[in-house]
Amino acid sequence: MCHPNSLIFRIRAAPLGLPGYCHMPNICHRIYSTAVFGFAGNVTTDELEKVNRCLPRAVWYRELDGTVYKAEDPSLQRRVDSNVGGDGGPFNNGDSNQRRDLLQHEIPRIQSYSDFNASRSTEGPPIDLTNITGISGVTSFSSPGSKTQSLGPVLWNLDRIDQRDLPLDNLYRYGTPETPGTGTGVTIYTIDSGIIKSHQEFQKAGNPSESRASYGYNFVDDTEDARDCDGHGTHVSATAAGLQVGVAKNANIVSIKILDCNGSGTISDTVAALDWVAANAKKPAVATLSLGIQVGSWSRVLEDAVRSLVNNHGVTVIVASGNSAVDSCYVAPANVPEVITVSATDVKNKYNGTFKGGSEGMYEWSNTGPCVDIHAPGVDIYSACGSQSRCDEVTNDAYTYASGTSMAVPSVAGVAALYLEANPKATPNDVAAAVIGGATQNVVDESIFKPGTPNRLLYSKVAVKQVAAAQGP
């Protein structure tokens, strides 16, 4: 029905006895064939009646297309400019000057260890991770062993997830004697605004001329080039798998672009992206959806596609709870039970240099409620910059801050990748049980929780190998 070639249509239609008038390629903008089965397009009432005549009882339901939005709080978005004056904006914790002092100094540009004066385009020998990023214990990111990354306050989110309690200790510890703890062999599919895949955060450890990031497809422009122009997707991707700012430092990233340069997209394109991942995912795999539709709006096809990706195609899906300070059960796809739904937290006084006296609470606009599975850091998250709306110049060593439940999602995705690295045959249910079950309990202030909200904070050290044993007779 939708195939553009009339000859191919006739060949395929003959066994079904479909007449020529059933060939209607102009109505099909998107064709779904894996996660769900159907199509999206501009269809008149007459055309829909014709579809029903051609394929009786084949159309189960129909719905109007809608808009999806990134789950980021633009009021807390911080440009990293060289000429910032004043206090830089209404920071939550009154520590804007301390943070601005940290901006350009915490994360150096990755360069070849043999030439610190190399230009940005230089391709050199392997990165000296110990000297450049403060990571100790690293012989290979794909080899088992405990590793420690020294952090400044700017990477408070990494600092927080590897320990049960405050105060923070300026360290991110990962890896075990059995596992690398870097997400090696796992692919994270970011369904977002694209990616700047040349950014240094996506370099391969030991081979800076190669990137772990790649394009999947650009459904906004219908091209293979999924370059980011909003910056949201690059920021999310680096938090999940960046070499320095990321949780799973050796995972691969595939970017599927469905958000435009303003950070919005369509439900039909989002479903197309989910369908693409279902058809093309290399396992083990995780997918992120740092987005949602308007509160109180529903999309059966979006929810069905997400559910199918988990249940039928074995991909763990991590979704933002949203930023409306409402019950997340009123937001799709955060309401889908099969996904891991994430809300955002903050730590006060995280930039005071001592971390003493800090308290842990929710990001004030985070959606909560019983559809939330876990909380993760989501305020003032420092990560790769992919848009001039976020930093002075988009370069391969540019960074910026962002806030919202969007920013909490990739940390959970990174921890899911760590678990899958150790347990590559694990199902999405296994991953959810490990990530949610391993969370730190009852440390987040509950004053703005909606009824039924669980008190679980992300904990990164869940990547233990699971051993199946059978008892003999």
- As a whole-number percent, the residues of the chain with pLDDT over 90 amount to 62
In a shared domain, residues 37 and 124 = no
In a shared domain, residues 41 and 89 = no
Backbone angles phi, psi at 408, to 5 degrees: -80, -30
142 carries an active-site annotation:
no
Determine, yes or no, domain membership for 87.
Answer: yes
228 carries an active-site annotation:
no
**Across 64-73, 106-115, 339-348, least confident range:** 106-115
In a shared domain, residues 96 and 42 = no
- 230 lies in which domain range? 69-457
d(CA 412, CA 125): 32
Confidence of residue 99 (pLDDT cuts 50, 70, 90): very low
Distances from the Cα of 419 to the Cα of 130, 177, 414, 440, angstroms: 25, 14, 9, 16
> Mean pLDDT, to the nearest integer, of 404-410?
98
192 carries an active-site annotation:
yes
In a shared domain, residues 278 and 228 = yes
From 62, 84, 108, the end of a domain falls on: 62
**What angle in degrees, to the nearest 10, is found between the helix axes of 428-437 and 405-422?**
110
- Amino acid 299: pLDDT: 95
Quickly count: other Cβ atoms within 10 Å of residue 102's Cβ: 17
In a shared domain, residues 91 and 55 = no
Catalytic residue chosen out of the listed positions 192, 230, 275, 304: 192
Determine, yes or no, domain membership for 282.
Answer: yes
More confident residue, 190 or 48: 190
Number of structural domains found in the chain: 2
Catalytic residue chosen out of the listed positions 73, 159, 230, 232: 232
CATH number, domain containing residue 444: 3.40.50.200
Radius of gyration of the CA atoms of the chain, in A: 23
Determine, yes or no, domain membership for 145.
Answer: yes
In a shared domain, residues 137 and 29 = no
Confidence of residue 137 (pLDDT cuts 50, 70, 90): low
Catalytic residue chosen out of the listed positions 268, 406, 411, 460: 406
Indicate the pairing of strand 374-377 with strand 340-347.
Answer: parallel
Determine, yes or no, domain membership for 467.
Answer: no
In a shared domain, residues 182 and 322 = yes
From 62, 82, 99, the end of a domain falls on: 62
CA 355, 360, 364, 369: dihedral to nearest 10 degrees?
A: 160
In a shared domain, residues 33 and 135 = no
Q: Are 141 and 250 in contact (CB under 8 A)?
A: yes
Confidence of residue 78 (pLDDT cuts 50, 70, 90): low
In a shared domain, residues 12 and 106 = no
In a shared domain, residues 20 and 85 = no
Determine, yes or no, domain membership for 83.
Answer: yes
| Confidence check: pLDDT of 76 > 80 | no
CA atoms within 13 A on the CB side of 422: 28
In a shared domain, residues 187 and 334 = yes
